[in-house]
Structure 1
Amino acid sequence: MENQPEIPKIEDLPSDAAGRREALFVPLFTSSERRLRSFVFGMVPSQQDVDEIMQEVSIVLWKKFDQYEPGTEFIRWAYVVARYEVLLYRRKKARDRLCFSEKMLELLGEEYEDDEDVLERERTALDRCLKKLPESDRETLITIYSKDMKINELAEATGRTATSLYKRLNRMRAKLLTCVESQLKTV
């Protein structure tokens, strides 16, 4: 079973129904949101699509929270809801040639669920390894990968040549790969 957050004790819950529901839902959703977002991202072509779908997923999860069975894995239940929302979104965008077929989305969703534990271990190992890098290396990686900046732009902004930046990135990637592989062997 996944590492779910600790659920508050009944006596610690607010006395009103809405407050109890929120006290139970919020920790489960927030602890699963990153994994759920990653799941959705595997089935749609852009971050904008993920954001739109995640809005709908969070609303549906909240509205249907009374259907969730406490003690079961929240993330598994959320994956089912997310897969359904991706299919609905796909139908709305059916004319967009970048959409996968429903069968492909089903296969991707099943595949992701099968590999989810492995992916989570890899993400955890990568997080640990990133923290071991010098601050300047971490900043470079974050700038390149999360801000969609081109190597030439970053090289110009930092006063380096694109070639030297490529070499530096390759060294960082190799260092991260070695670290992640080492972390995974110990798990």
Structure 2
Amino acid sequence: MVDKTKAGFDFKSQLLTTIPSLRAFAVSLSGQHDRADDLVQETVVKAWSKQESFEPGTNLKAWLFTILRNEFYSQMRKKGREVSDPDDYYTSQMSVHPNQYGSVDMKDFLHALKQISEDQREAIVLVCASGFSYEEAAEICGCAVGTIKSRINRARSRLQELLGVSGEADYGPDAHSAAVIKQTLTA
């Protein structure tokens, strides 16, 4: 790496003298003084970290203006992908059910799974949890495909009975908890 100060070029002082011009250019791009200050700061930081790539004898001001312009357009592209939510309207509409519901549901499911017959448990685990096809599960269990389908059907029915599940709405928080969560979100 060439020491640029030996060649009569002082990067730091030259960089500092361009800051007023950089700020004026940033204001013209962004239209906001605070954003312009942020752009200039980002430009100076990038230029300082990449100063070894600047060639003395070329136009430092043009190099800095290019960095600033590229940073401005990068921020604009990024801003185009972001959603403005100054009053937390969108954020307040988001919710996640508390972890304990999933944990309790899983414990209940595992307890119920232990209560079904071994051949039904094996079939449902192979197909529904492990992703084997009916044919592959039949081969693993040494039985006919129809037998696997029958075991899975009986296992599902028995699990629904043991868990007291009648439909999709039975998963997640109970009706009372769901009402509390909804009330909190709309308040």
Higher Rg of the two aligned structures: 2
Q: Relative contact order (alpha carbons < 8 A, sep ≥ 6): 1 or 2 greater?
A: 1
- For normalisation by structure 2, the TM-score amounts to 0.38
